[in-house]
Structure formats: C-alpha cells, structure tokens
Structure 1
Amino acid sequence: MTFLLNEQNPIVYIFIAQVTLFTFVTGQNPETEIRLRRDLFSKHNNHIRPVANISHPVEIFAELQLYALNSFDTINGILITQCSLELVWYDQFLFWNPTEYDNISMIYVSSEEIWRPIVIVCNAVVAQSIGREISYVVLHNDGRVVLWYQEILRTFCTIDAHGYPFDKQLCHILICVAIHKADHSVIKQLRYRKASFFKNYQWDVDMEGIGESEDNSGRSLTRAKILLSRRIKINTLAMMVPSGIFTVVSIFVFLLPAESGEKVSLSTTLFLSIIVYLVEIDKMTPKNSESMPLLTLYLLTLATLSGFNTIGTIIECRVYIMQERKSNKETRPVPNDEKVTVLTRKTKTDTEQAPSIWNCDSKVCGESIKINQTRILAEETQPEFDATDKYRRPRYQKLSRIFFGVSVTYIITSIIVICITSTFLTEY
C-alpha cells in the first residue's frame, strides 16, 4: 500500500477507511487483500490487451448519463453538457475465486496497474479523452473492470433552424475508440439516458436509448442521441408579434388617404423598421444551419412587400399631385385686373341691354342693376373644382385599391408557398 499512500489523493484515505470498516464488520483480514493483489499483479502486464485469444477484440460496454444541460449555443452549434460515462470490460487475466480470499469479490485498484481502452469524444470541440485522469477503477472477481468518469462535454451539434423559433434539434455525442482498430477494441453497446433529477427551463430534453457499434474508418464508434425541443417563452412571443403587426400595417397602408400627406413617410418608416428587425433576427438565428429559418424567409418576403408598397405609395401620391396641378390650372382664379375688365364689360353690356334710365322709372332700373350684380357675384364665388371632382378623385383612389388588392394577394400567396415549402422540407 506504500505506492498508494505516496499519492496525495483524498480517495486513498477514503479507500483505507472503507477497507478498515469492511474488515471490522466482516472479520476479513487486510493481509488477505494484500495477498490477492500480489497474486494478481505479480506477473501482470498492463500493456497487453486482456484477451486470452489475441485475435478476439476487447468488448466494451458503456453507459452515458446526462446530469445537466449547461448551455446550447445554437448560433455556433456547440452543446455543453455535464455527463457521466461508465465503461465496463472484462480482463481475462485478472480473476480469482472469492472463497480462497475470505470472500473478497471486488477491489479498488489503481488505473495505472491495468489495461485501459483509449476512449475519446469524437465530435468534441477540443480533443477530449475519457477516463485518463481517473486514479482508480473497480475490479470484480470475474475479471469485470468498471471505470466511472464524470466530465463536462463540449460537443458540436448540427443545427436545423428551419422551424426557428419553434425548432427541434437532434444532437449526438459520439464515443469512439482511438488508436485501436475495431478488431482489437470495440464498443459493443452504449446505453444513454438522462438523470431523474435533470431539469432545464429552456429546452425539453429527450434522451434515452441504446446505441450500437458503428464503423468509423476501421475504428469502433457509437453515439448517444439527444433530442432538444425549444420551449415557448415570453421572448419567443415577443419575437413573433412584431411580424404580425408589420404584415397588417404593410397591407393597410393604402387605406390612408393621399390628402393626409403622411402616406409616403409611413411606408418608408415601415420599410426601414422591417429591415432593422430582419437584421436583428438574423443575428439570433444559427449560422451553420442546413436550411434557412422560415421566420427569416417570411421577413424577407415582408420586406419585399413593404418595398413594393413604398413604390406604389409614391406612384399614387405622384398621380394625386399631377391631378391636383391639372385641376388648379383648369379652375385658375381670375386676376383682379381681369375681374375689373370683365365686370366693366358686363356692366356696360347689361346697361346697354337694360332700359334707359330716362325711359324707365327708378324702381324698375334699380331692380335690373341689382340682378346683374348678383349674377356677377355668383359667377365669381362659384366652386373651383366642381367641374373636375368627378374625374379627379376616383382615379387615384382606384389606383390605391389596386395596390391594396395586389398586396393582399402577394402576402397570402407568400404564406401558402412558405407553408408548402416547410411541409416539403420536413418530409424530405
């Protein structure tokens, strides 16, 4: 036991306390375990694969348990989990009969004394070997060796942001044997599950199954599957509500009268708002996704619609201004000097046509002059746009209705196309 005490490791003292307690309760003599260790390791070579027939591979059975999902970076596709991995294999050179050693059926041995497989995480962000830092393993009397290891794993995950922000991600933790070929060391089976106390408030995690051995360029590989479903939270709703508001405002912008003078400014502001929102959403969507998120595709469609609405609004307001100018020219007010001339001519004409002041009595002549003045005043105060209102107003309003119909048709068609594309990509 001297080589154990030389290691400054608390596990050594825990091990000694366990042995002492076990001896006190069962009456086993520590000298028996010393004799067992001497018999096992006196001629043991830890560099040789522990198989009686060297043509047979060492079969490794693994169990992966998920304790916590620390973080999931969907933008860069990095999954950080806290897991424990248990490796079990049989050493055909290390076995004994418990009846010959006071019924000792298992012992703790230093991991440096026995042969260990080199198992790594294939899809780790940084090269990560499993169990190389473990100081002790459990050795059973039938030659079964158990290595238990807990570590924080940083693995790559292929992101599919097609349904973002209502997406589901399927990630894998790849466990493979390094250096040895599959005919020397093979991971026969991998059981994986999540711990009973596992909780996560951002993702629903489904992890349970059995992974079989696969070929990885002549080496053994197995994988654990983790299905992550994003939970709907307040930030998800805050992301979706502006999209619906932008859609409604983009369609109904043509219902604003052109006379208000705010139609073009509203369309331009709405277009710029959608572009800014699209840029912000793009920052939050995964960069290495296999397909474009439907939300991004929809916002691109909405930005196109808003740009079309802005152009249509400019055209509508231009038509309105041109008609306004044309109407003003047709009903241009008469200058004061022309009014005087016309009034003088009309007065003279009316005077000539009216009965002579010498040939009529004062009552008749006064009424004739009053009638002429009333008729002239009525002509001067006649509305300027009566002659053209019935032609001018319906023209730009009809143009506005056309743009409104085109906008509604465009957005409905875009939604149908996006839904069909989503269904097609989901199936294939």
Structure 2
Amino acid sequence: MKRIEKKFMHCCVFLNYVIPNVFCTNNETVLWKDIIDHRDYNKYIRRPTLNNSKPIEVVFEIVLNSINSLDMKDQILTTSVGIRMSWRDEFLLWNSSLYGETKKILAPLSEIWNPDIRLINYADKSNIFEDKDTLVNIYSTGLVEWHNFIELKTYCFVDTTQYPFETEICKLHFSAVHLDDKEQLIKIQLQDDYFNRFQSNGEWHISKPNKIRTYTEIRNSNSKRFAGVVLEIEMERRQTYYVWKFLIPTVAITCINMVTFLLPVKSGAKVTLSTFVVLSFTVMIQLFNQSLPSSSDKISQFGRLLWCLLGMSGLSLILNVVITAIFYRKCTICKINYSVCNCAKLTKQLQDKPRNTTCCCKSKEDKQTIELKYIGPQEKETAQQGSSTENKSMFSLNAQFRVAKITIC
C-alpha cells in the first residue's frame, strides 16, 4: 500500500513540473513562473540591488494633464497627472535566448518591488502605487517601467491678498519616506511636449510652459536626507466670472449710494434707498467671505474695499436720516402757530437770538408758512429792498422792531 502511494506522489510531481515545461507554448508564462517560484523572488527587500553600498536610481517623469479644481475654502488642489517611473531590478534579469527570445513581459505591480516614493502634501492619499492592478513592463536587462494616469488631491496654501484677481503657486511634492539618499536617488526627466498635453481649465489658466517647473530636492528629516521631486505650478485665475459676480455689482451699488444725495427729501426715498445700499453691501460681503478660507494670515484687498464701502454707505444712511429729520423738524421758537398780528411777539423772542437765526411759522390768516430771520437793525433797509412786494405788507407790521425779515418759506 505504501509503495502505491509513493508511486502516485511521483506521478503528481511529474505532471506538475515536467509536463508544463514540455508542452507549454507560452514563454512569458514559463519565464514569470521561473522568476517567482524557482528564484524565490522577494518583493519586500529594501532595494533590489546586488551591491548594498550602491543606491538604486529611480527615473521620475511627470506630466500635468489638467487642473480640475482649487477649493479655496479647504485649500485643496485637485489635478490629473501622468506619472512614469523606471528603475533597474537586478533580481529580474534573464537570458532571452532561453525563453524564445522573450525580451519583455508584463507583470502585476503588486508582485514586484516598488520604489519608496510618496506624495508628501497629500490631502486624500499618499501612496501613488495604491492601484495594484496596474501592470509594469519588465525587460530582460532588469529595467522596470511603470506609468499611470492618476488624480491627486494636495494641499495648496493660497494667498488671498489679491483675490479674486490673484496668481497662485501650488506644489506637488514627492519624496522618499524610508530610503534615504544613500539607498535611493530620484532623477527627474521631462518630455519635450509636456506642456502641449495640458488641458485648459475654465477657472485657472497657465500662460507659458515655464509656469510648470520641476526640480529635485533633498528633504531633511530625523537627521536623514531623503531625495524628492517637486512639481511647481504657477496658475492665474480667469477674471471674467468674478468681474460679473463681484466687481460690476459693487460699482453699481456704489453709484446708487451716491444718487441718494440727489433725491429730494419730499420724495421719501432717501432713507429707503440708503438702507437698501447697506443691506446690499452686507450680502455682498457675506457671499465674498463664503469663498475664502477661514484664515487670518492674509486679508483680501477687495474684501477690505467692500468693508470700506459698507462703512461709507452706513455713514450715508446716517446723513440722510439727519437731513430728513432737519427738513421735517419744528422750530424750537415757533411751537405754536402765530398770525401776522402776533409776529411782534415772536420778534421780541428773536431779539436775544444770534444773528441769522431762522424760524418758520404758519400764518392763521392766509394759511402761509413764513420764515422769520433775525438780521439786525443795520440790515433792515437792505432786507426791505430785497424783499418781494408780496412780503412787504408783512414786513411793515414788524418794521418798528427792525429785527425781522419775513419771507415765504
């Protein structure tokens, strides 16, 4: 019985190892099985080099495809980029003549060693190799190429001083986290037509190729130096939308605020229109602040202008209220209606008042409103000459006092 079981096991071994190698026609499958199973390939090694004193060099290429959005409130930039990286894995070498002149194969990214590169200023995810379903090209020389198009969300600290007519500079910062510059180096490369691949955005505009810059840097952390790559984007905001949203309404409301002083008091619209202007600027400031981050570092100059205009409109409202109150106020002297015959009594009250004191009263006889103005004895004749024929009769009643000028209010 034991001999039968032993022969059966030998047959299984023969079927699993001998038959696939003899009858299999796919050289790539045989090659990949040989690398993974027979070579005991370890994807968790620190770096895939035979010489541990030599750092592995990763060639990094990045192309900006589009700027999707910049959330001013949360200060998050969303971009679509194309990333291509290549490195040499010395444990993935093979002789192409032994595998039917196979010089390149496709393999899952999750099955091989990945470079230690992370997105530093990430807002969503830092691992750009998170999609393990992507494939890589592996060459017989050990060269590995990986490229993918991904959407990145990064923090971009905006400068709101010139908002909404500003230019923002945002960065995509890639760097090593575990392997220092003695173990891994990053070399940046740019394609010649990288700017032609950029798709314009309805809100942001990049005018020149030099507005997209890439450079390598060494980041110091915990007394170690880590190699990194920075993609710097200088973008200008398109102003048409914000001109119609903020600038033109602000100019229109300011003009309305000035028109309130031209309205007659009797129209009754001075205070009403001034109140409308104050409320309009309040709503405008509220809408403006909703699109800005909750930060006290820098204040928008346009926001300061709105606050100044709100203060001026409030002052205009106060002035219009005062003007209306003065126009409709009652004279402190003429607390009752005097007839023309009683003007002498009123004139005696004016003798102790300063020069040019004015008082308006209604006559009980002719139902007219008259103005009494103290001018002094020396101005009596001039006042008589300048008064109208209609008012001379009224003035003659008070001529003996030589202190009042009577005119129609």
TM range (shorter): 0.5 to 0.7
Q: Which amino acid in structure 1 is aligned with residue 44 of structure 2?
A: H
Q: Could you tell me which residue of structure 2 aligns to residue 133 of structure 1? A: 131
Task: Check if 1:242 corresponds to 2:252.
Answer: no
Give, as a single letter, the amino acid of the residue that structure 1 aligns with 2:55.
P
Asked if 2 retains the 8 angstrom alpha-carbon contact of 1:124 and 1:155, the reply is yes
Report the Cα distance in structure 1 between the residues aligned to 2:141 and 2:292, rounded to whole angstroms. 53
Separation in 1, partners of 2:364, 2:79: 89
Distance 1:151 1:331, change over 3 A: same
Choose which of 271, 275, 288 in structure 2 pairs with 1:268.
275
Report the CA distance between 1:286 and its aligned residue: 3.4
Structure 1 residue aligned with 2:312: 305
Q: Which moved more, 1:239-248 or 1:107-116?
A: 107-116
Shift of 1:305: 0.8
- Provide the residue aligned with 2:201 in structure 1: 200
The structure that is helix-richer by fraction is 1
RMSD: 3.6
What TM-score, normalized by structure 2, do the two folds share?
0.67
Instruction: Give distance in 1, aligned partners of 2:206 and 2:98.
Output: 49
Give the superposition deviation at 1:96: 4.6
Q: Secondary structure at the match of 1:385?
A: strand
Aligned residue in 2 for 1:251: 258
SS in 1 for 2:92: coil
Matched ranges for 1:26-175 at <5 A: 30-31=26-27, 34=30, 38=34, 42=39, 44-48=41-45, 49-96=47-94, 98=96, 103-135=101-133, 136-175=135-174
Q: Structure 1 CA distance, aligned partners of 2:56 and 2:374?
A: 95
CA shift in 2, pair 1:248/1:327, >3 Å? farther
Mapped to 1, the partners of 2:198 and 2:180 lie a distance apart of 37
CA distance in 2, matches of 1:222, 1:185: 13
Q: For the residues of structure 1 that align with 2:333 and 2:275, how far apart are their CA atoms? A: 28
* 1:226 Cα deviation from its structure 2 partner: 2.3
Q: What SS does the corresponding residue of 1:241 show, helix, strand or coil?
A: helix
Q: Which gives a bigger RCO, structure 1 or 2 (Cα 8 Å, sep 6+)?
A: 1
SS at structure 1 position matched to 2:273: helix
1:64, 1:86 within 8 Å by CA — same for their partners in 2? yes
Matches within 5 A, 1:183-222: 183-189=182-188, 191=190, 193=194, 196=197, 198-205=199-206, 208-217=212-221, 218=224, 219-222=226-229
Match of 1:278 in 2: 285
C-alpha displacement of 1:243 = 0.6
Structure 2 counterpart SS, 1:130:
coil
Alignment of 1:309-324 (within 5 A): 309-322=316-329
Shift of residue 330, structure 1, vs aligned partner? 9.3
What is the identity, as a one-letter code, of the residue corresponding to 1:241?
I
Report if the CA contact (8 A) 2:80-2:152 is conserved. Answer: yes
SS at match of 1:213: strand
Is 1:385 the counterpart of 2:381? The answer is no
Unaligned runs of 5+ in 1: 1-28, 340-377, 391-428
Amino acid at match of 1:303: L
- Alpha-carbon shift at residue 175 of structure 1 (Å): 1.4
Offset at 1:293? 1.8
Report the equivalent of 1:332. 338
Q: How does 1:279-428 map to 2 (within 5 A)?
A: 279-288=286-295, 290-322=297-329, 325-326=331-332, 332-333=338-339, 381=366, 384-385=369-370, 387-388=372-373
SS in structure 1 at match of 2:165: coil
Deviation for aligned residue 1:297: 1.0
**1:217-242: per-residue Cα shift (whole Å, max 9, x none)?**
13333221223322233464132111
Hey, what's the Cα distance between the residues in 2 that align with 1:306 and 1:254? 12
How many pairs align? 321
Give the CA deviation at 1:74.
1.7
CA contact (8 A) 2:60 2:83 kept: yes
Offset, 1:110: 3.6
Mapped partners of 2:227, 2:34: distance in 1 = 34
Q: In structure 1, how many angstroms separate the alpha carbons of the residues matched to 2:186 and 2:316?
A: 62
Alignment partner of 1:224 is 2:231 = yes
2:119–2:126 Cα contact (<8 Å) kept = yes
Q: Tell me, yes or no, if the aligned pair for 1:63 and 1:191 is still in contact at 8 Å.
A: yes
Question: Does residue 180 of the first structure (1) align with residue 179 of the second (2)?
Answer: yes
1:53 is displaced (CA, Å) by 2.7
